[in-house]
């Protein structure tokens, strides 16, 4: 079954913030960050059930080697990418973002 794939608009803002941060350090680092993000989306599309739930209702893929995760939910009909989260941020803050965007 093919699932609908949707990216929450807030993810694009999260991505822009992170890329801008890395771009200030080194433009090549920002490019590697974006490539890691793009690869994570491909992985999610192909294998949405492989990552385990880390918060009830949401799964995550780590953007190796960066301290970010792509958080998403999946059901029989859709894959919803909800947030790009800094992994070292307070877990309650990250959970609040997920709940706000769901």
32-46 per-position pLDDT tens digit: 999 999 999 999 999
Q: What does the longest C-alpha to C-alpha distance in the chain come to? A: 42
Query: Of 99, 38, 102, which is closest to residue 66 (Cα–Cα)?
Result: 38
pLDDT of residue 102: 87
Average per-residue pLDDT in the chain?
A: 95
CATH number of 4-101: 3.30.2310.20
pLDDT of residue 55: 87
pLDDT category of residue 1 using cuts at 50, 70 and 90: low
Task: Specify the pTM.
Answer: 0.92
């Amino acid at each position: 079954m093919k699932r609908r794939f949707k990216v929450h608009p807030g993810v694009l803002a999260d991505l822009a913030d992170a890329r801008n941060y890395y771009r200030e350090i080194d433009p090549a680092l920002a490019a590697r960050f974006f490539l890691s993000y793009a690869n994570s989306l491909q992985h999610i599309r192909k294998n949405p059930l492989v990552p385990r739930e880390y918060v009830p209702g949401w799964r995550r893929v780590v953007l190796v080697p960066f301290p970010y995760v792509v958080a998403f939910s999946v059901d029989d009909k859709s894959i919803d990418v909800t947030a790009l989260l800094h992994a070292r941020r307070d877990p309650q803050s990250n959970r609040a973002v997920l709940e706000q965007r769901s």
